[in-house]
Amino acid sequence: MPPFWANNTKGTLLEQDNLMDERELLRKVSASDETAFTVLFNNYYPLLSTHVFRITRSMPETEEIVQDVFFKIWMSRESLFNVENFKPYLWVIAKNQALNSLKKKARERNNQKTWLKNEYKSVADTGDSQLIYHSLIDEAISKLPPQQQKVFLLSRREGLKQAEIAAQMDLTLSTIKKYIQLATEFISNYIRERYHLIIPPLLLASLFF
């Protein structure tokens, strides 16, 4: 369930003659006035989203960060009474939140790369494991529908580009992409179910792409 202030992200700003002075608005928010906080959210949401998007370049991530920022503002609302200039205050919080999010994702990617490298090494060190993988891959390919199988083999085994496959088989490029996606998902699931191991997509790809 979205927070009370996010029911309408576009919001309806107060009419000019009823517009609260920002200091008064912050005072009301610091006193836990939900209506005042919703006004504050609606006033700053568009500009803050633009500010954060310049850092993340991702709209879903931007929306999540902006919501987190306002959640933090609400949770520490008592301190707003002492804020002299709210906009720079809000901008600093949002920038730090966005940068922390990017750093976290970078760490996760590095950890994943390290894990994949170690996992691949453990597989490569065991000849039997490789034989099992390749055997299961061949089994899975043989069970694909004829069109998917042909597209997959032309792409992965013969190295044809998707556009070349589309022209050769007289199919649309989107159909070729869909067939490759479906085939890859089927093969991945087939191996997981039979090898009793959660195989990362990149590790699986390294074995037969």
Write down the domain spans for the chain.
4-108, 126-208
Tokens 């099992």 belong to 132
Q: How far apart are CA 106 and CA 112, in angstroms?
A: 10
How far is 86 from 183, CA to CA, in rounded Å? 53
**Number of DSSP helices (H) and strands (E) in the chain, helices first:** 9, 0
Among the listed residues 26, 28, 36, 46, the one whose alpha carbon sits nearest the alpha carbon of residue 5: 36
What's the pLDDT score for residue 12?
40
Q: What is the mean pLDDT of the chain?
A: 79
pLDDT for the residue 144: 93
CATH number of 4-108: 1.10.1740.10
160 neighbors 154 (Cβ within 8 angstroms): yes
pLDDT of 98-122, one tens digit each?
998 888 888 877 766 665 566 555 5
Predicted pLDDT at 206: 46
pLDDT digits (tens, 9 = 90+) for 23-76: 899 999 999 999 999 999 999 999 999 999 998 888 888 999 999 999 999 999
Residue with tokens 């500009």: 47
Contact 155, 180 (CB under 8 A): yes
Which one is the CATH code of 126-208: 3.30.420.40, 3.30.450.20, 3.40.640.10, 1.10.10.10?
1.10.10.10
CA dihedral 190, 194, 195, 197 (to 10 degrees): 70
Tell me: pLDDT of 97 over 50.
Answer: yes
